[in-house]
A and B are shown apart, each in its own frame.
Chain A
Amino acid sequence: MNNFRLTLNTPSKLAMVVLIDGKTIRGKKKRDKTIYNFNTTKNMIDVNIFNVVELDSPVWWLWSIFYFIIGIFGIFDRGFGKMTDRIECAFRVSMADNVNMSVGTWYKDNSVCTVQCDTMYKEIKNKVWQDDSLKKKIKLNKLLRVGLWLVSILVIVAIVLKEVL
């Protein structure tokens, strides 16, 4: 059995997903790093690393309304965050007894992740970028919140007027 150990060094605010041969692997956090262990008998493995944001969902606006309601006019809501960074990496790694691989980001200017590996690996994809569609969704969410506030105020005023008159 070969052991593959992946050390991911990415900002803690990013929710990273690691797929090895199509299977999601859960990692253990150690300070600013996350360590993933995977055992296999194969000679080659496919490693996919990417991040997921709540705003990726097509119904993110519905969830925003839901959070607004349960967060009592959004007062207790933590928001979707302002991170618009995207990471997408894919590698094909040759396996040996114990393989250590570390993938990390980044200095703000970098458009790729830095990779270190004990064995041979093929880089299929390695991309780090700022997602403009996320920026747009964050702005839309702000507008949505303003709209929800206006609607809430109108509803409250209507209820009060109905009670008074």
Chain B
Amino acid sequence: MGKELLRQRAYHTGTILFRVMMLSLGVSILCFVAPMIQALYGLVVLLFLLTVILFTLGLILLDEEKVAWIQSTFDHLSELKPNLELICKILQVMLPMIVALSVVVIVCQLLASKRSFGKIIASAIAGLVAVTLWICVSKGVIGR
């Protein structure tokens, strides 16, 4: 009975940590991608302006005021810069935590009464992704 209780606790703990790990990985990937979004802004603005030009060329009503407002909004957006220092700090804490969590989740799942191979594989992949991002962050991919 004691063993079965332990197995159930391992399953319970593993399930909770798996969810926490997945959320942390999502946040980390977002943080990692955030500085790159800055570069994407340019493309978005370009595409939008192209559309506006096409519309104005097509003599569809878009008065000057509206165009100016849209342009100022995009100018404001492109001025936004992610705080790279803060992102690096967050990632340096989150990524090792995810790696540790993935190991704990795999151990818990192996001990559990209801083994979920999906979760084991997902944790292993999450761990590998976290290690890769960690290497990238430590080599200064983001900070540059």
Q: Is B92 an interface residue (CB 8 A)?
A: no
Number of chain B residues close to chain A: CB under 8 A: 16
| Complex contact B16–A76 (CB within 8 A) | yes
Convert A133-146 into 0s and 1s, putting 1 for each residue whose CB lies closer than 8 angstroms to a CB of B: 00000000000000
Number of chain A residues close to chain B: CB under 8 A: 16
Convert A52-92 into 0s and 1s, putting 1 for each residue whose CB lies closer than 8 angstroms to a CB of B: 10101100000100110011100011100000000000000
Q: Is A98 an interface residue (CB 8 A)?
A: no
User: Which of A17, A63, A66, A72 interacts with B1 by CB under 8 Å?
Assistant: A17
Note all chain B residues with C-beta closer than 8 A to A70: 13, 16-17, 20
In chain B, positions 69-99 with a C-beta closer than 8 Å to chain A are none
Note all chain A residues with C-beta closer than 8 A to B66: none
| Complex contact B17–A54 (CB within 8 A) | no
Q: Is A15 an interface residue (CB 8 A)?
A: yes
CA distance A57 to B9 in the complex (A): 11
In chain B, positions 1-50 with a C-beta closer than 8 Å to chain A are 1, 3-5, 7-9, 12-13, 15-17, 19-20, 23
Q: How far is the CB of B87 from the nearest CB of chain A, in Å?
A: 21
| Complex contact A15–B13 (CB within 8 A) | no
Q: Is A116 an interface residue (CB 8 A)?
A: no
| Complex contact A67–B12 (CB within 8 A) | yes
Q: How far is the CB of A22 from the nearest CB of chain B, in Å?
A: 12
Give the residue among B1, B3, B23 with the most A Cβ atoms within 10 A: B1
User: Which of B4, B9, B20 interacts with A76 by CB under 8 Å?
Assistant: B20
| Complex contact A54–B12 (CB within 8 A) | yes
Note all chain A residues with C-beta closer than 8 A to B13: 66-67, 70
Q: Is A24 an interface residue (CB 8 A)?
A: yes
Top 8 closest pairs, chain A to chain B, by CB: A76-B19, A52-B4, A71-B16, A54-B8, A17-B4, A78-B15, A76-B16, A70-B16
- Excluding A67-B16, A71-B19, 15 further A-B contacts by CB distance (< 8 Å) are A52-B1, A52-B4, A52-B5, A54-B5, A56-B1, A57-B5, A63-B12, A66-B13, A67-B12, A67-B13, A70-B13, A70-B16, A71-B20, A72-B20, A76-B23
